Structure 1
Amino acid sequence: MSEIRFQQRRLTALLAAVLLALLTTLTACGDDTTGSTKDAPAATQAAPTTRTVTDMSGNKVEVPSRPMRVVTNYPAVTQIIFLLGAIERQVGVTQTNLTTLPLFKKIYPPLAQKTAVFGTDTTTVNTEVLLAQKPDLVLLTAGNDTLRKTITDLGIPAVDVASFPNSDKLSEGVTFIADVLGGDAPARAKKFTEFYDGTISRAAEGTKGLTDAERPKIYYTADNPLSTDGSKTIAEVWARQGGGVAVTEGGSVSGTAKPVTLEAVVAWNPDYIFCRDHTTCEEILKDDRFAEVAAVRNHHVITNPRGVFVWSARSAESALQPLWVAKTLHPDKFADVDIEKEVKEFYTTFYNYKLTDAEVDGILAPTEP
């Protein structure tokens, strides 16, 4: 009988030990669950709605983490936004984006329906129209503090995008814009800068060793036959990258769209004249005062290529300019370069658009404004 009571007490003790162990385990699991909630992965927590960036003028600006309603007064930046895959987020443009660039509107028809917030001078803003677009970010050309203040006083964040005086600054600008836009734009920007670096390297390889005497002299026209981009502009940069030399290099003409005299052009006696606009080339060829210039005598007055944006004037399509210049000036050194193929690949890669042969011809020999 005592043996039976002993076994009963032993069984009771064993059951109590099991219950105590089970209770301890459950309590520990409860503690782990509480800990997991406290240490939840960042992905499950709310992302910040704004962040601070340093723009290309050095201003620190609080911007949306992913701006969805963007406006710019910089016509070339609209093309960059398109290249970066964010054109659907752009709600305001300049008048120039609507009145020129026919190929851009053909490839992306909604461009024609965008709202003109800025005038053709890029500094005149209609504040009522701007506010009506409910923008969460404005991308501005650097250097206009008055315009910047006008916009920020409306409670709209604005960041400066520096002008593109050289290829490095252009690549930096595309990268900066991509960083501000977010999403997959930075990856697209990286692909672009790699492409641009590649065209510069290929042009450099084919023109290495050229002396200045072997470099054709280039006169580039901006607004009219007697307007040019001089020193501290990208025109002088791509002239050298392509194996030539700008007639303004080392001179007193500095900046974009600067007036020059006919006497100066005749004295420079350029071997090539590259016109930003086809109408300018036509004016030069009809003007007997240019007849003795070497470029005119040798039929080297050429309209610069223009696609979604003009290649020569500070846009992302400037990435094609060095190789085109090199092929134009030194065809024997670049016999293996197929410019038509290069253009088609650029448009397929960055615009997801397959150009026809006729469209390529229109880009390389443009006649429309």
Structure 2
Amino acid sequence: MKSIKRITTLLLAILFAAALLAGCAQSGPAEGTPPAATTSQPSASSEPSASAPAQRTVTDMAGRTVTLPAEIKKIGTFGSIGVLNAFVETMGAGDLICNEGSPSFVKSPSWTKYQYLFTPQIKDLTPFQGADSELLMENILAAKPDLCLTMDSSLTQQLEKQGLTVIQLSWTKTEDVKQCITLLGDILNKQDVAADYLKYFDDMMAKAADLTKNIKQEDKKTVVYGTPSQFAQPHLIAEWWIDKAGGISVTATARKDSTTESLTYTLEDLLKWNPQYMFVSTSSEKDAVLKDARLAGITAVKNGAIYIVPRIAHVWGNRTTEQPLTILWAINKLYPDLVPDEELAKDISYFYSHFFKYDFTDDQIKEIMGK
């Protein structure tokens, strides 16, 4: 009986020892001993990584539901190329633009001068539109843009028929710029940049309002914008930024429809308005005004108060994300005591450095401001 008890005790001791050894074998390595390298292969049913890009859907400004590719590495701009390039560049994504401008853009030194600084890669790329703005589909399909940006429904339809991803933007009302920027922030996963720009826009509007709030109505300067030598004001939005700059646009009430984009008037209209300032888009337009004897008696011409609105990413007087600078530039010309050159230079430098990631030299900024 005693021998059976000893054997039982011995067996229990062996089993207990074995259990201890098994537990040690399953524990981690001793302190200071690196673990053995391991690799794991995801199973066929594994879910995609949470950080991996995925397709998304957005609603563009034409009300279209658009499925975006997982990654956007190439952006094509169509139609209103100047406006669209400025949008992309403001978002800090100019390096994604994969097309040169149309021939009408490229032949303009004022276009290439700054576009080639902001997006140097486009200089060596093919255009997506020809001389008469028709789509060069062979070039487009060869470039394979991940995203096409337009502001024209007919272009949207043509590109969509080729299986391309198209986002249509719209800018008919002043505040549309905010919706465009917000949408692009979502599309490019740059919501922080979009929010930053919207705050900048509102801050600059508040700054302009504060600067001009004490200008009496009778002291406000009268302005004509556009191509006065041809008696045309091509962009409705100029009525807005001239007003925000504390000026009075002489064409503001001339449109029969307040939503009409372009306006033509007569020589008699211009002589009657007799603007104190002229803001024009090109040096050739300024020359044309100065050479036209019929305009010699206009106050702006007599006083040499004809200024060329800067064209950097786009023409500042037209629709562009640079418009807050347009307003400060106009105040500088109309009321130089309110915005001295030094202050305007700081605003210009900040905008392009902060959003476009491009630092202008002092000489470049002086040239942009003009005389």
> TM-score, normalized by length of structure 2?
0.81
In structure 2, the residue matched to 1:249 is 252
Q: How far apart are residue 17 of structure 1 and its match?
A: 7.3
Among all aligned residue pairs of Structure 1 and Structure 2, give the percentage whose two residues are the same amino acid: 24
Distance 1:41 1:132 in 2: 33
- Pair 225,136 (structure 1): closer, same or farther in 2 beyond 3 Å: same
CA-to-aligned-CA distance 1:100-149 (integer Å, 9 cap, x gap):
31322441432222221124665x212222212222221011xx333222
Distance 2:237 2:255 in 1: 16
2:73 is paired with a residue whose SS is: coil
Q: How far apart are residue 179 of structure 1 and its match?
A: 2.4
Structure 1 runs, 4 residues or longer, greater than 6 Å off: 17-27, 36-42
Find 2:150's aligned residue among 137, 140, 156: 140
Q: How far apart are residue 336 of structure 1 and its match?
A: 8.4
- Work out whether residues 196 and 320 of structure 1, in 8 Å CA contact, stay in contact via their aligned partners in 2: no
CA-to-aligned-CA distance 1:297-345 (integer Å, 9 cap, x gap):
3322111122232211112222311111122222223348621222222
CA-to-aligned-CA distance 1:185-227 (integer Å, 9 cap, x gap):
4333333333222222111111114444332222111596421
In structure 2, the residue matched to 1:118 is 129
Report the AA paired with residue 116 of structure 1: P
Report the AA paired with residue 320 of structure 2: S
- Pair 150,39 (structure 1): closer, same or farther in 2 beyond 3 Å: closer
In structure 1, the residue matched to 2:37 is none
Distance 1:258 1:315 in 2: 20
In structure 2, the residue matched to 1:329 is 334
1:350 counterpart = 2:362: no
Q: How far apart are residue 46 of structure 1 and its match?
A: 4.9
- Work out whether residues 226 and 234 of structure 2, in 8 Å CA contact, stay in contact via their aligned partners in 1: yes
- Work out whether residues 99 and 122 of structure 2, in 8 Å CA contact, stay in contact via their aligned partners in 1: no
Q: How far apart are residue 162 of structure 1 and its match?
A: 0.6
2:98 is paired with a residue whose SS is: strand
Report the AA paired with residue 121 of structure 2: P
In structure 2, the residue matched to 1:150 is 158
Find 2:241's aligned residue among 238, 241, 259: 238
In structure 2, the residue matched to 1:30 is none
1:129 counterpart = 2:129: no
- Work out whether residues 94 and 119 of structure 1, in 8 Å CA contact, stay in contact via their aligned partners in 2: no
1:89 counterpart = 2:96: yes
CA-to-aligned-CA distance 1:237-287 (integer Å, 9 cap, x gap):
111211112222233255334322222222222221110222112211221
> TM-score, normalized by length of structure 1?
0.81
Residues 1-369 of structure 1 correspond to what in structure 2 (within 5 A)? 2=2, 5-6=4-5, 8-10=7-9, 12-13=11-12, 43=49, 46-48=52-54, 50-73=55-78, 74-75=80-81, 76-95=83-102, 96-100=104-108, 101-107=111-117, 108-119=119-130, 122=133, 124-141=134-151, 144-163=152-171, 165-166=173-174, 168-182=175-189, 185-222=190-227, 225-229=230-234, 233-252=236-255, 254-335=259-340, 338-365=343-370
- Pair 104,333 (structure 1): closer, same or farther in 2 beyond 3 Å: closer
- Pair 42,127 (structure 1): closer, same or farther in 2 beyond 3 Å: closer
Distance 2:314 2:4 in 1: 99
Distance 1:162 1:270 in 2: 32
1:163 is paired with a residue whose SS is: coil
In structure 1, the residue matched to 2:30 is none
- Pair 40,10 (structure 1): closer, same or farther in 2 beyond 3 Å: farther
Q: How far apart are residue 41 of structure 1 and its match?
A: 8.8
Q: How far apart are residue 154 of structure 1 and its match?
A: 0.9
Give the paired residue count: 350
- Pair 310,282 (structure 1): closer, same or farther in 2 beyond 3 Å: same
- Pair 38,213 (structure 1): closer, same or farther in 2 beyond 3 Å: farther
- Work out whether residues 217 and 245 of structure 1, in 8 Å CA contact, stay in contact via their aligned partners in 2: yes
- Work out whether residues 221 and 247 of structure 2, in 8 Å CA contact, stay in contact via their aligned partners in 1: yes
- Work out whether residues 349 and 359 of structure 2, in 8 Å CA contact, stay in contact via their aligned partners in 1: yes
Distance 2:341 2:228 in 1: 34
Report the AA paired with residue 223 of structure 2: I
- Work out whether residues 178 and 186 of structure 1, in 8 Å CA contact, stay in contact via their aligned partners in 2: yes
CA-to-aligned-CA distance 1:75-115 (integer Å, 9 cap, x gap):
22113223323233222243144233132244143222222
- Pair 160,44 (structure 1): closer, same or farther in 2 beyond 3 Å: closer
